[in-house]
Structure 1
Amino acid sequence: MAINKWMKAALKALTYSEPDLKKNYKLYRAVNNVVVTPVKGIYKMNDYKIRLRGAEIPVRIFTPKERTSDEAFLFFHGGGWVTGNIDSYTKPCASLANATGRRVLSVDYRLAPEHPFPCGLNDCYQAARTIFKNSGAFELEKKDIILMGDSAGGNLAACVSLLARNRGDFAVKRQILLYPATGNDHSDDSEFLSVRRFGKEYLLTSKRIRDYIDLYLPDKHDLNNPYFAPLLAEDLTRQPQTMIITAEYDPLRDEGEAYGKKLREQGNQVVIHRMKDALHGFFTLPQRFVHVKKTYQMIEDFLLEEKE
């Protein structure tokens, strides 16, 4: 359904009624952590911890009731690197597992500002490295591990893939990035039309994106770091087969699509879909919503095509 004038008015009211993020990020976390328990019986859930020097990284493993594939998603949640966790993403991950017949391994990386860049990225990388290196312990083959994330999680997935190639620790075959953050310019004068056109009245504002980044990046020199903004990476060769899904009314839309085009220009296999009439964050809606159903079908088509 297109956004009519009544819906746009409601979005505008919701956008301007939000509390200041930088002063109230703990409030945002509390709201995000209100968990709606998924329907029982459709999946099995196990918690696992990857122990590193000085830290433990929780991983929640969702197994669908009807498992139809040996593949599994290694999932990094969204929330601007500041909010969200495996509890607030239990329902989307359980629904993803159930809808696709594949297991989901959801990583609970540490959040900014208490743990700023590159802490969250390092947690995701170390979790991925451990799972790839010990894939047999997770009843997986390396080729069947698919990196996936939404928003800031899409950013982290892209950066883990880039880091994995540069370090040579493991090889990522496929990645799925949902409305990822890939750039570093979310100002009113941004080069990206979507930032200028949809950055004020469509729930996720350009100001809130900048606030998230301020909390995540205390050192502003890191704005140009490709492990924060992978769109800035000069060398994007030897990256995974990639599917990027963006949202039509999302300020991050154009940078996500630009990243996909740059990957393609440097020789990678890339599929880019723009979800019509969608807002940022649509993947976390209940499974009955049309955009969520379409996403599951796009994922299935992408994974089947890559096998052929």
Structure 2
Amino acid sequence: MPMNPVVQAVIKAITLVQPDVASSWDAQRKVEDAAGKLTIADPRCRIDEITATADDGYEIPLRVFTPLDIDFSLKAGLHVNEDHRGTILYMHGGGWANGDVDFYSDACMRTALKLERRVIAVDYRRSPECRFPVPLEDCYAVARALFAGEVIPDADPEHIVLMGDSAGGNLTAGVGLLARERGEFRPRTQILLYPLTYNDHSESTLFDSVRENGEDYILTRQAIVDYIELYLRTPEDFHDSRFAPLIATSLADMPRTLVITAEYDPLRDEGEAFAARLDAEGSEVACFRMTDGVHGYFLYPSVLSLVRDTYRLIAHFLDDDPIPTEGKLPWTPLLGTD
């Protein structure tokens, strides 16, 4: 069913007035930094600032969002206890150049509360100041330290989930690949929200969604190309599977994976192709396409049904509950519905 024409017209208008990424990434970063400072803390979530050390000695800032159980009675007074069932290591989106933990604080608080899990957001170094593979290696170093008990001592490795959206989904998949190759730790679960997984976003790319959705739906094909140019150091990096995990020689023996794509996202098809390869090569994977979704929708207010439904999907997946696949649904089940 096509998108509502009025909504589509509004989205197209917003897309048309967006500045050019190649020349305005720094200005966009400043706007996002200012917006992030306006986030209002939720009293049901404790926020802590810690660090982890990168291989080159850089101290990577981390922000920890811990859901709380608050109980008050006149007789017993106020009791506040941590209330979580695991830990999510979150890698934010923003084309590797934009986004940071301030800009994502509202989404991380919401994720911690809705999924009843502690969230650790990685403030990895961004491009173009720090190009590939620095952001990926920062995320890997944090994950390695987290699994080793060096970030939060009580984090159970069996209940650590890697998660990211967009470029953060790309980094999440990259960490999963590096963990398999290096053998220093083994994530059990990862969640990728509309991830970039492929390297070719030209007009002749394999994927129709780049051509169909690459002009009028917030994230444009040219913006993807520009972000990649800001991120990579050399032409050889373009063919590196750490950057484009879909071109990896093997995707066997990867973590249990949930991939969520958006119907009107230019990255839709490559995310679904990544899930299909995981499935074909024996990894456990579920993949769903969100109806009427556009790239970046996860940051929208949680009152929107699209965001609420995404949390429903993630909660079902994390809790190993059957995911609804029949009747009128806000998503299209593609894989992992048996």
| Fold shared, TM-score > 0.5 on shorter chain | yes
The answer to whether structure 1 residue 205 and structure 2 residue 216 are counterparts is: no
What is residue 170 of structure 2 aligned with on the other side? Answer: 155
Counterpart of 2:92 (choices 73, 77, 82) is 77
Q: Give me the TM-score of the superposition, normalised by structure 1.
A: 0.96
**How far apart are residue 144 of structure 1 and its match?**
0.7
Amino acid in structure 2 at the alignment position of 1:51:
T
What is residue 89 of structure 1 aligned with on the other side? Answer: 104
Greater mean alpha carbon deviation, residues 233-242 or residues 65-74: 65-74
Aligned length: 307
What is residue 123 of structure 1 aligned with on the other side? Answer: 138
Greater mean alpha carbon deviation, residues 165-174 or residues 286-295: 286-295
Query: Using the alignment, how far apart are the partners of 1:54 and 1:141 within structure 2?
Result: 26
What is residue 251 of structure 2 aligned with on the other side? Answer: 236
Query: Residue 293 of structure 2 aligns to a residue in which SS?
Result: strand
Query: Using the alignment, how far apart are the partners of 1:39 and 1:275 within structure 2?
Result: 29
Larger RCO (CA within 8 A; separation ≥ 6)? 1
**How far apart are residue 216 of structure 1 and its match?**
0.2
Amino acid in structure 2 at the alignment position of 1:84:
G
What is residue 274 of structure 2 aligned with on the other side? Answer: 259
What is residue 179 of structure 1 aligned with on the other side? Answer: 194
1:239-268 superposed Cα distances (whole Å, 9 cap, x missing partner): 000000000000000000000000010000
- Asked if structure 2 preserves the Cα contact closer than 8 Å seen for 1:135 and 1:141, the reply is no
What is residue 61 of structure 1 aligned with on the other side? Answer: 64
Alignment of 1:128-147 (within 5 A): 128-134=143-149, 137-147=152-162
Q: 1:258 to 1:89 in 2, by over 3 A?
A: same
Query: Using the alignment, how far apart are the partners of 2:57 and 2:153 within structure 1?
Result: 23
**How far apart are residue 38 of structure 1 and its match?**
3.5
Query: Using the alignment, how far apart are the partners of 1:135 and 1:236 within structure 2?
Result: 28
Q: 1:115 to 1:150 in 2, by over 3 A?
A: same
The answer to whether structure 1 residue 9 and structure 2 residue 12 are counterparts is: no
- Asked if structure 2 preserves the Cα contact closer than 8 Å seen for 1:70 and 1:140, the reply is no
The answer to whether structure 1 residue 245 and structure 2 residue 247 are counterparts is: no
**How far apart are residue 148 of structure 1 and its match?**
0.2
- Asked if structure 1 preserves the Cα contact closer than 8 Å seen for 2:63 and 2:120, the reply is yes
The answer to whether structure 1 residue 278 and structure 2 residue 278 are counterparts is: no
What is residue 21 of structure 1 aligned with on the other side? Answer: 21
**Which runs of no fewer than 5 residues in structure 2 stay unpaired?**
70-81, 323-338
The answer to whether structure 1 residue 101 and structure 2 residue 116 are counterparts is: yes
Amino acid in structure 2 at the alignment position of 1:45:
I
Amino acid in structure 2 at the alignment position of 1:145:
I
Amino acid in structure 2 at the alignment position of 1:236:
L
- Asked if structure 2 preserves the Cα contact closer than 8 Å seen for 1:73 and 1:105, the reply is yes
The answer to whether structure 1 residue 49 and structure 2 residue 51 are counterparts is: yes
Query: Using the alignment, how far apart are the partners of 2:210 and 2:320 within structure 1?
Result: 32
- Asked if structure 2 preserves the Cα contact closer than 8 Å seen for 1:246 and 1:275, the reply is yes
1:182-240 superposed Cα distances (whole Å, 9 cap, x missing partner): 00111112111110100001010000000000000131211111000000001111100
Query: Residue 120 of structure 1 aligns to a residue in which SS?
Result: helix
**Which runs of no fewer than 5 residues in structure 1 stay unpaired?**
none
Q: 1:306 to 1:170 in 2, by over 3 A?
A: farther
**How far apart are residue 22 of structure 1 and its match?**
1.2
More helix per residue: 1
Q: Give me the TM-score of the superposition, normalised by structure 2.
A: 0.87
Amino acid in structure 2 at the alignment position of 1:30:
K
Runs of 4+ in 1 over 3 A off after TM superposition: 66-69, 135-138
Give percent identity, aligned residues only: 43
Amino acid in structure 2 at the alignment position of 1:188:
E
What is residue 169 of structure 1 aligned with on the other side? Answer: 184
Greater mean alpha carbon deviation, residues 217-226 or residues 242-251: 217-226
| RMSD, aligned α-carbons | 1.7
- Asked if structure 2 preserves the Cα contact closer than 8 Å seen for 1:38 and 1:94, the reply is no
Query: Using the alignment, how far apart are the partners of 1:137 and 1:64 within structure 2?
Result: 15
Amino acid in structure 2 at the alignment position of 1:22:
A
